[in-house]
Amino acid sequence: MFNTDTLGESQAVLLEHLNLVFIGHVDHGKSTLAGRILLELEKINTRTIEKNKQKAKENHRENSWLTYFFDTDETEQKNGRTVEFSRGNFHSSSKRYTILDAPGHRNYVPMMIEGTSQADVGILVVSARASEFEAGFQKSGQTREHIILAKTFGVKHLIVVVNKMDDPTVSWDFNRFKYISDSIRSFLTQVGYTNVPFIPISAYQGINICNDLNAPSWYKQSCLIKTLDSLSVERDVISPVVISIVSSSVEQGQTYAIAKILKGKVRLNQRLISLPSRQPFSISGLYLSDEGPTLQEAGAGENLRISFHSPAQILPKGSVLCADEASVVLGSSFIAEIQLLQLPPSFPLFTAGFRCVAHIGGSVVDVEVRKLLVVWEKNKTMKKNPAFVKSNRLVGVVIDVVKPVPFQVYEQLPDLGRITLRMDTDIIAFVKIVKAA
């Protein structure tokens, strides 16, 4: 096990930082794995451990106490199902990490999108237990959908952990691990992920996560944390700063926000502009965690808690802070390239006037298709100004948003240029913004 005591928090700040999102089908062990990592690497205090064990016992879920480090809502704890995405921080000897624990149930896809859109690395948790892998990987499960979402939202690296290998129906059987790995690998290749590591683990027992001492004899690669430590992500720290607001609150007359720096660097007392409100804000504190010391500056990729000098006011989710308005477009229409997926039976045709919900950066807004410009047929030919298109087509369109939102052309800032279109719980399209309309 890594000894986190060898690095103080002031030293850990200097380590390279990665954002991790745990994705996968419901009940495959995402929150258990996230809790296990914090337990082993962050030295969770005994009082919290005993408190969680007692709560789990009261809820008749004794084996779920590890999930309570992230599933802190009482409803989540009673039902054993993650609803909101949660955060946690830890560091190894060479990297510093922010955990984003995302819901797996299809009813909470918006929260899963929120977590995935902030991540550099996706850890796909797959259960090896008999029938559970198959339930998650079939078309009605979330495994495939989460892989596609990870790729669409720019998750740079993907790691697949095959969990519950200790289950009596599996007993660390190599053939079961190979079957699952081979099944998923072919789908990953179709989506565009190559050279993806597959790691057999037991999240509940903590096997092959922080060390490989108890790994099965047939597994010759690194444990999960060592695999994570081998990854790296390039950051744009040169461009003017752009910060995406995840949430905010006013506490004792001061504004606080959870935010991710998309590019550039931010420093204490720097003045920024909030979009869409165009309200000026000045940074009074930069924190890696709720209890962490104030940083002098922070760069692209950091998930931070930020405090501001007056005025005290809420920054709406999806707002953007930037050094100058030229870094971000504030508009209500854009030209986009849309990859349609399966349209719902009630709306089988994609036409002008089509309405749905869009996830743009951190914003969730209603949109309407103003005009279809072109559709690319399967033989790569183009048809201009089609009256309608059906499922699984690539189409260029003009989209109107009900209110101005901050966005950017995909080629300039992918975080604000990639969009997901959704109807109810179904994701119907992935979008790249080409230019403002």
Taking 70 as the threshold, does the pLDDT of residue 108 lie above it?
A: no
Taking 90 as the threshold, does the pLDDT of residue 386 lie above it?
A: yes
Task: Assign 104 a pLDDT band (cuts: 50, 70, 90).
Answer: very low
Taking 70 as the threshold, does the pLDDT of residue 148 lie above it?
A: yes
* H or E stretch at 275: strand 271-275
What is the predicted pLDDT for the residue at 133? 95
Domain boundary among the residues 326, 360, 378 is at: 326
Is 237 within the bounds of a domain? no
Clarify whether residues 162 and 218 are in a common domain.
yes
Taking 70 as the threshold, does the pLDDT of residue 181 lie above it?
A: yes
The reported pTM is 0.84
Task: Assign 3 a pLDDT band (cuts: 50, 70, 90).
Answer: very low
CA–CA–CA angle 119, 124, 126 (5° rounding): 160
- SS in 3 state form for the chain? CCCHHHCCHHHHCCCEEEEEEEECCCCCCHHHHHHHHHHHHCCCCHHHHHHHHHHHHHCCCHHHHHHHHCCCCHHHHHHCCCCCCEEEEEECCCEEEEEEECCCCHHHHHHHHHHHCCCCEEEEEEECCCCHHHHHHCCCCCHHHHHHHHHHCCCCEEEEEEECCCCCCCCCCHHHHHHHHHHHHHHHHHHCCCCCCEEECECCCCECCCCCCCCCCCCCCCCHHHHHHCCCCCCCCCCCCEEEEEEEEEECCEEEEEEEEEECEEECCCEEEEECCCEEEEEEEEECCCCCCECCEEECCCEEEEEECCCCCCCCCCCEEECCHHHCEEEEEEEEEEEECCCCCCCCCECCCCEEEEEECCEEEEEEEEEEEEEECCCCCEEECCCCECCCCEEEEEEEEEEEEEECCCCCCHHHHEEEEEECCEEEEEEEEEEEC
Domain boundary among the residues 326, 360, 395 is at: 326
Clarify whether residues 402 and 305 are in a common domain.
no
Segments forming the whole domain that contains residue 347: 329-436
Alpha carbons within 13 angstroms on the beta-carbon side of residue 403 total 8
CATH of the domain at 69: 3.40.50.300
Both structure tokens of 140: 């009605």
Clarify whether residues 163 and 19 are in a common domain.
yes
Clarify whether residues 414 and 279 are in a common domain.
no
Is 234 within the bounds of a domain? no
What is the predicted pLDDT for the residue at 432? 95
Alpha carbons within 13 angstroms on the beta-carbon side of residue 134 total 5
User: Residue 353 region, left (φ>0) first, then alpha (ψ -120 to 50), else beta?
Assistant: left
pLDDT, one tens digit per residue, over 60-98 is 767 767 777 665 656 555 554 544 556 778 888 899 998
d(CA 277, CA 319): 8
Domain boundary among the residues 205, 229, 253 is at: 229
**Which residues are within 8 A (CB) of 382 and not within 5 positions of it... i.e. 6 or more apart?**
374, 375, 376
pLDDT, one tens digit per residue, over 193-235 is 999 999 999 999 999 999 888 899 999 999 999 999 999 999 9
Clarify whether residues 316 and 180 are in a common domain.
no
Q: What is the mean pLDDT of residues 173-185?
A: 97
- Nearest CA to 163 out of 137, 127, 129, 196 is that of 127
Task: Assign 55 a pLDDT band (cuts: 50, 70, 90).
Answer: confident
Neighbours of 357 (CB within 10 A): 15
Is 86 within the bounds of a domain? yes
Clarify whether residues 79 and 180 are in a common domain.
yes
Clarify whether residues 250 and 347 are in a common domain.
no
Taking 70 as the threshold, does the pLDDT of residue 40 lie above it?
A: yes
Clarify whether residues 322 and 333 are in a common domain.
no
How many separate domains does the chain show? 3
Is 236 within the bounds of a domain? no
